[in-house]
Structure 1
Amino acid sequence: MTRYPALILASVLTASSLQAQTTAEARESLQAGQYEDAADAFRTILENDPSSYDVRRDLIRALLATGKYEASELLAREAPAPSSFANTLGEILVLRGRVEEAAKAFQESIDANARDALTAEVNLAELLFSQGEIDEAMTRFDRFIDIYNTSDGRLSATELVAVGRAVRYLGRTNPDLFQDALRAFDEAASIAPMWHEPRVRAGELFLEKYSSTDAQSEFEKVLGVNPRHPGALLGLAKALEFDGTSDAGRVLGQLLEINSNHLEARALLASQHLTRERYQDAYEQTEMALAINPNSLVALTTLAGAHLLTGDLEKFQQVRERVLQLNPRYSGLDTKLAELAVQTRRYGDAVTRAEAAVELDPYSWTAWGLLGMNELRLGDVEQGKTHLMRAFEGDPYNPWFKNNLDLLDTFERFEIHETDHFELFLHGTESSLLATYLAPIAEEAYESLTRRYGGEPLLPVRAELFPSHADFSVRTLGEAGLGALGVSFGRVLVMDSPGARERGDYNWASVFWHELAHTFHLAISDNLVPRWFSEGLAVHEQRKARQGWGHQVTIPFLRALAEGKLKKVSELNDGFMRPDYPQQVIFSYYQSSLVFQVIEDRYGFSAIRQMLEGYRRGATTAELFE
């Protein structure tokens, strides 16, 4: 009989060691992104030991990764010690838009001094910030500096991430603190190398500060271990979107296969559709996002953008008012809509929305920058420079602000030559000679296009020609590297001068004609003409102006046609905005120009004018082609 206790002890130890082994295997599955397997294993273990904090926490993580929010909430509520999961419950409630309940849950965790109370502190501060209680939130964030400074290196990885998150917000008034936020994330990653959140947070911070390369490096480190990590996939998609590649949509597709309820992925996909002018697709994605969280500021912002870009101003205003009820100081909606306006060539709207953003939040440096850059695009150089300087003072990490300000410092070296309809802004080293040739071409193009379109843009048209392609690129995008030769913002044209290119390599007169055609298209359509329509029509105008001007048929184009690699006419905007391969943009110029050659040959040029006027009235391309 004396042997039975030993046998019982042995069996208990064996069961305990087996459970430990199973838990370790489940955790390995979780870290590798095998969420379904991990959830099954954790659920089995939890049935045998409902009091295990770590197992319940990891089961909730596995369920959240796959969008099972209701099951996650139930697990948090059923915890034997409710306050130990109050913070987790609050995070789940935030995902569903139940912010009042979330605030109470965070406060419960703080009051109970739960093991994740510091995370609850930063969660509550972020929640207050998102509701427009910015002063209260910033006071709470500021406490984290003292927490870090008095910790003597004793903070855990989760506590360091909380510090980094708080200090990141403080960077809006002190940009030097972004470095401290990054340091906190790096320290957390070194303490817990298999916990992925610190690297994801660091990647998000790099992307916020315009370092896409560093951001992608952080996200790819996570994806190398867990290729299904939702946060890393979302971050990578944002970085690819930042770089303007077509791969962002593919990554979002991967993420939504893992978690079809990922709201930010839905909203980002909807935003992509808006920039491609695929408005119905944008509405569908936004509706799915709002079904997850009807109070999401991100999703409501996208919905407002869809209404604004489709001309439904009444619904736009209703959504904007709803957003401001949720957060009276939320500048993100107007800032995002200013960005969308730029991407759809509505530069006046961009100024209007940026002005609204800075009125709501004078610390929105992105909005100040958008305001300044778009004032420059509309020809208001002095006002644009003033607002860019203010933006750069608040956000000295922004390369576009700095590059534009550096370029503006060189404007004193340029001279202005006036003609009947133009203000030619030319560099002093070439202005006299270039004006002699440019002025007659400009006036000829103006008279020709006025006869064809039967209307005039705002005058005078300002044409800026830069002897440095890098300067032209900065004037256009804020950074070097633009592959185009010219851009029209409406009554302001910007392009390379002949001096920016090798002799014989550049038909500047043809490019000028092309860009001036855009000026007419934007004026007649009130900036509502789609990109593919205006580009194709401008190439068509080049070929009308002179034999040999404009894009011509090439063997690679014919090969792409034979291989089925050209876009349908209804998808030509994607050929410019989201090309599938490098040459597709060039092919799309020529292909879209053929559309207008056919229309003018069959129906006369008046049909094209009527289509431009139709866009001004709010008609869609499908309606105009019926």
Structure 2
Amino acid sequence: MLEMFYDRVRDSNPDFLEAYIATAELAIEKGDYKVAAETLAEAERIDDTDPRTSYLKARAFESSDADVTTEALQRALELNPNHVPSLLMLAELALDRELYDDAKSSIAEALKINPSEPDAWALRSVIAHLEGDSEREQKMRLKALSTWNENPRVDYLIGSNLSQKYRFAEGAAYQRRALEFDPDYHAAKFQLAQDLLRLGNDEKGWTLAHSVAENDPYNVIAHNLLTLHDRIKDFSVLESGNIHVRMDPEEADLYGEAVLELLTEARATLCKKYDIQPDAPIMVEIFPEQNDFAIRTFGLPGGAGYLGVCFGRVITANSPASQGERPHNWKSVLWHEFCHVVTLEKTKNRMPRWLSEGISVYEERMRNPAWGESMTPQYREMILSESLTPVSKLSSAFLSPPSPLHLQFAYYESSLVIEFLIEKHGLESLKTVLVSLGDGLSIDDALTRSVGSLDRLDVEFATYAREKASSFAPDADWSRDELPNDASTAELAKWVEEHPANYWGLRSLAEAWIAEKQDEKALPVLVKIVELGAVTPERDGPLEWLADVYQRLDQEKREREIREKVLAISSDALPSYRRLIEIATKHNDWQKVLKYSEEMLAIQPLQPFAYQHMVVAAEELDKPGKKIRPLKVLLQMDPIDPAALNYKLARACFETDDTTSAKRHVLSALEDAPRYRDAHGLLLEIVAKEQ
């Protein structure tokens, strides 16, 4: 289409706007947002007064840049307040943020302009569905079909918006209706494929995705999915009951067993706590490549910052391999996502995002106090300022945060709401809310029925959160008003001397002294921050700075104490684990070497460091059974001396009376090193024992 028609028009008349508009529309339809954005930039050069250009720009950036999308949509409506597609997109964005009154207002504006607009009535049907009014839902759908009673776009639009709300089963039902009207309606067919994949119906989902790609070869998202499908065909599938884990084969060998153990524990703990048992398999897919995770999850590369996503009975997650030198704790990520499985199952996927995320973060902390979000100086400041979002508007905090920090804070605040609800009203009250949501009540009605007035809830929670914030390091001075800007280190030191409890001054001064390699001067400043109780699990924050300063000053005892504090509050303290293992090894404290190494693997199971030290510690403690797993893993890591590892593994198996495995590994050692005298000796011992 582009080469044979649109490009030829643009070549013959470079200033003909319609060719650019048509090109952008086609690119957006096919999911090629890069081509759409480039084309619209040229269109704006030709005519920046046409609202269609700004509207299409909003569509092109919708999945990648919320700020550009909002700005472009505002521009379109400034150019033409009656531009119906822009009004309806505004309504869809409000739906995403659960701002239903705003969505209704935008839809009403569109219907004033065109009372028969099918998309507007379709969106009204979506709102009715979300509000649990099935009679009005069908009435609005019929109005959407009034101008064309077999219009497949109506059911496609209703279904895709429901899927956006994680109502994949209901969304899939609407896509099937659309395909009854038009079996070749590619948008509905592909949306149905994605819905089925997110419902765990892989066989039908992938078959349908292949069908779409064959009939619509320029669909970028379908192409991405099928390319991914080819890559994951060889993934290993591990099973424990109704939990199925799909992983890269090498990673499955390294820590797949630990993944199954954690998920089995999560199922036992969380399903019992929330009185729910999923009646179908739960699929967990772990990707070593971030782009593969993003394509499986969102259809497009990107998604940076997401560690995992749960669709109900399907979880997708990034493996530690995709996260660089300091990955997040994979155990806390999977516990968080499995909690989503439980709560989405209990509510039939009918819950606002803030409630779902709040429970998952709260349950992370319940499983391990170092997991999940916790109070920080930044969060304290936000709670005591105007950044605290009322409970009734919390979902919008996830969908339009001003910054990554605000998004993180939304997770923390939501978990704080759950903590408040359980402390004040009890777990049973929270479970009642979940049951009500599953029965079709709105979140407002469910909360009102269980805990009372929403206005009162907003006020009571704000008081609770402010008390929590105020109790964090209460003796510290948290003001920033007089903190000098662009001051030299000497000037900053003088200011801190006059304000000895000011957290921001102490932090800035410590950072400045460390940058200037003045550890002796930085030390008392950092100690003061700790004495004030203003420490957090922040990566590369004051507590980690203090541990590093003690290390450089060769104060090992104090360093060890501070690193232990880091471990107590941080879920991903890899540098401190590594250093504590080194210290414990130096002092022959093998129990601690074993303990730290096992805990380190919950963060990074793909590096040999912890496994190597586990083997040494197990040897020193005369615990041959503890050596078997790490030795097997080290053999998978392309070792320099596989013969030595096979020999050690054979010896460990022999000492635990597993002569069959011992013989297999000692023979493997001799295969690599036929003159390996110790291996020959062990083989003779094994044969003698067998006889």
TM-score (norm. length: structure 1): 0.67
Q: Is the 8 A contact 2:30 2:221 kept in 1?
A: no
Residue in 2 that maps onto 1:544: 366
2:310 to 488, 492, 497: 488
1:464 to 274, 285, 292: 285
Distance 1:282 1:476 in 2: 26
2:6 to 182, 185, 192: 182
Tell me: CA distance 1:233–1:502, structure 2 relative to 1, closer, same or farther (3 Å). Answer: closer
Residue in 2 that maps onto 1:529: 351
Distance 1:417 1:242 in 2: 33
SS at match of 1:479: coil
2:148 to 320, 327, 337: 327
Measure how far apart 1:254 and its partner are: 3.5
Distance 2:40 2:256 in 1: 51
Measure how far apart 1:509 and its partner are: 0.9
Residue in 1 that maps onto 2:442: 620
Q: Is the 8 A contact 2:25 2:36 kept in 1?
A: yes
Residue in 2 that maps onto 1:392: 213
Residue in 1 that maps onto 2:579: none
Q: Is the 8 A contact 1:189 1:198 kept in 2?
A: no
Gaps of 5+ in 1: 1-176
Measure how far apart 1:224 and its partner are: 4.5
* Percent of residue pairs bearing the same amino acid type: 29
SS at match of 2:250: coil
Measure how far apart 1:562 and its partner are: 5.1
Counterpart amino acid of residue 259 in structure 1: N
Residue in 1 that maps onto 2:421: 599
Which residues in structure 2 correspond to 1:329-368 (within 5 Å)?
Answer: 329-368=150-189
Tell me: CA distance 1:583–1:185, structure 2 relative to 1, closer, same or farther (3 Å). Answer: farther
Tell me: CA distance 1:605–1:427, structure 2 relative to 1, closer, same or farther (3 Å). Answer: same
Counterpart amino acid of residue 198 in structure 1: A
How large is the Cα RMSD of the aligned pairs? 2.2
Q: Does 1:401 align with 2:225?
A: no
Distance 2:190 2:382 in 1: 41
Measure how far apart 1:595 and its partner are: 0.7
Measure how far apart 1:356 and its partner are: 1.8
Measure how far apart 1:178 and its partner are: 4.5
Q: Is the 8 A contact 1:425 1:462 kept in 2?
A: yes
Measure how far apart 1:422 and its partner are: 1.3
Distance 1:504 1:184 in 2: 51
Which residues in structure 2 correspond to 1:16-95 (within 5 Å)?
Answer: none
SS at match of 2:328: coil
Which residues in structure 2 correspond to 1:497-508 (within 5 Å)?
Answer: 497-502=319-324, 505-508=327-330
Which residues in structure 2 correspond to 1:164-563 (within 5 Å)?
Answer: 177-187=1-11, 189-190=13-14, 193=15, 196-224=17-45, 226-482=47-303, 483-502=305-324, 505-561=327-383
Deviations 1:504-543 (A, max 9, x none): 5221111111011101111111111001110111100100
Distance 1:545 1:378 in 2: 27
SS at match of 1:409: helix
Residue in 2 that maps onto 1:574: 396
Measure how far apart 1:268 and its partner are: 1.3
Measure how far apart 1:386 and its partner are: 1.0
Counterpart amino acid of residue 605 in structure 1: L
Residue in 1 that maps onto 2:646: none
Distance 1:331 1:367 in 2: 8
Distance 1:424 1:364 in 2: 33
Tell me: CA distance 1:243–1:498, structure 2 relative to 1, closer, same or farther (3 Å). Answer: closer
Distance 1:211 1:473 in 2: 16
Tell me: CA distance 1:181–1:462, structure 2 relative to 1, closer, same or farther (3 Å). Answer: same
Deviations 1:426-452 (A, max 9, x none): 322232442321222112111111222
Measure how far apart 1:187 and its partner are: 4.1
Q: Is the 8 A contact 2:267 2:338 kept in 1?
A: yes
Residue in 1 that maps onto 2:464: none
- Once structures 1 and 2 are overlaid, which stretch shifts more, 222-231 or 376-385? 222-231
Distance 1:371 1:244 in 2: 26
Distance 2:154 2:54 in 1: 24
Deviations 1:127-154 (A, max 9, x none): xxxxxxxxxxxxxxxxxxxxxxxxxxxx
Deviations 1:6-32 (A, max 9, x none): xxxxxxxxxxxxxxxxxxxxxxxxxxx
Q: Is the 8 A contact 2:348 2:438 kept in 1?
A: yes
Distance 2:133 2:72 in 1: 31
Counterpart amino acid of residue 439 in structure 1: L
Distance 2:27 2:251 in 1: 41
1:584 to 406, 409, 415: 406
SS at match of 1:547: coil
Gaps of 5+ in 2: 454-691
- Once structures 1 and 2 are overlaid, which stretch shifts more, 460-469 or 509-518? 460-469
Measure how far apart 1:308 and its partner are: 2.3
Q: Is the 8 A contact 1:185 1:202 kept in 2?
A: no
Counterpart amino acid of residue 333 in structure 2: V
Measure how far apart 1:188 and its partner are: 6.1
Measure how far apart 1:600 and its partner are: 1.1
Q: Is the 8 A contact 1:222 1:229 kept in 2?
A: no
Counterpart amino acid of residue 279 in structure 1: Y
Distance 2:325 2:265 in 1: 24
Distance 2:389 2:67 in 1: 15
Q: Is the 8 A contact 2:190 2:212 kept in 1?
A: yes
Distance 1:499 1:259 in 2: 49
| Count of paired positions | 447
Tell me: CA distance 1:506–1:561, structure 2 relative to 1, closer, same or farther (3 Å). Answer: same
SS at match of 1:326: coil
Distance 1:504 1:230 in 2: 45
